[in-house]
């Protein structure tokens, strides 16, 4: 037996692929569109959500028998908001330029539907360890898509990765640019994030026909 039982492992691996919060449940799209123009903010956002969801799910799960059902949504909101403010403050203290770049979107983690969704659907009914795995799994599934989208948008839109020019210098015309390649400025704009997410959904469903909904 490994570190995790098969059932526990499924809690992590399921949201990465066959039950991905973005491509299958189509949650958390707003931030996926907004911050994926570059790879670095995508990764920071993914890590932030990972922290908020992992800890948040555990807290909610520990409190699940104490939370009065009448005010459970408010309690969930307070837990998310607290964690998000902590993330925001820590970023401001240790990664100032990054926190400026992400600006309102860190605050908007509070409204990320995936988080409230997992609190309500999973953490309120399961133990802390399972909830932790579920939170990490879903956040990782979300982060994975964010990073994939960020990778393609930065590469094709700006010709860079993490700010490094990987395709050559567009001004000096070196590398790919020497043979007439141009950056696609449209990739930097939010609509292309939607199209990239659409392409990921398409690829995923054509590989696994079970995911296609019947009308």
Give the binding site for another protein (CB under 8 A).
37, 65-71, 74-75, 78, 82, 85-86, 89-90, 92-94, 96, 103-104, 165, 169, 171, 188-190
21 touches 27 (CB < 8 A): yes
Rounded least distance, CB 136 to another protein, Å: 22
Give the 3-state secondary structure of residue 164.
Answer: strand
In the complex, what is the shortest distance from the CB of residue 4 to another protein, in angstroms, rounded to a whole number? 31
From the CB of 179, what's the least distance to another protein, in Å?
Answer: 20
Least Cβ distance, residue 133 to another protein (angstroms): 25
Cα distance between residue 54 and residue 69, in whole Å: 22
Nearest-approach distance from CB 25 to another protein, in angstroms: 27
- Cβ proximity to another protein: between 171 and 212 the closer is 171
Closest CB to another protein among 117 and 190? Answer: 190
Reported in sequence order, the residue ranges of the chain that DSSP labels E, i.e. its strands, are 160-161, 164-165
Instruction: Kindly tell me which of 165 and 204 has the beta carbon lying closer to another protein.
Output: 165
| Residue closer to another protein (CB basis): 13 or 165 | 165
User: Which CB, 20 or 158, lies closer to another protein?
Assistant: 158
- In degrees, rounded to 5, the angle at the alpha carbon of residue 70 between the alpha carbons of residues 111 and 132 is 50
From CA 215, how far away is CA 201, in angstroms rounded?
A: 17
State the nearest-atom distance from the C-beta of 58 to another protein, in Å: 15
Residue 76 or 131 with smaller CB distance to another protein: 76
For the chain, give the number of residues: 215
* Residue 200 near residue 149, CB atoms below 8 Å: yes
Contact predicate 8/123, CB 8 Å: no
The 3-state DSSP class for residue 45 equals helix
d(CA 188, CA 31): 14
């Amino acid at each position: 037996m490994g570190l995790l039982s098969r059932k526990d492992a499924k809690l992590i691996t399921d949201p990465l692929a066959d039950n991905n919060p973005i491509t299958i449940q189509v949650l958390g799209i707003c931030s996926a569109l907004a911050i994926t123009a570059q790879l670095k903010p995508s990764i920071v956002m993914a890590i932030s959500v990972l922290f908020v969801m992992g800890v948040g799910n555990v807290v909610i799960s520990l409190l699940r028998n104490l939370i009065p059902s009448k005010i459970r949504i408010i309690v969930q909101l307070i837990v998310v908001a607290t964690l998000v403010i902590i993330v925001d403050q820590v970023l401001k203290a240790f990664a100032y330029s990054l926190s400026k770049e992400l600006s309102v979107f860190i605050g908007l983690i509070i409204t990320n539907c995936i988080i409230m969704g997992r609190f309500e659907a999973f953490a309120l009914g399961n133990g802390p360890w399972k909830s932790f795995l579920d939170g990490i799994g879903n956040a990782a599934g979300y982060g994975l898509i964010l990073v994939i989208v960020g990778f393609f948008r930065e590469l094709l839109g700006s010709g860079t990765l993490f700010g490094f020019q990987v395709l050559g210098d567009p001004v000096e015309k070196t590398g790919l640019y020497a043979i007439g390649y141009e950056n696609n400025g449209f990739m930097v704009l939010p609509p292309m994030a939607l199209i990239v997410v659409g392409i990921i959904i398409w690829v995923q469903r054509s590989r696994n026909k079970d995911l296609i909904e019947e009308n």
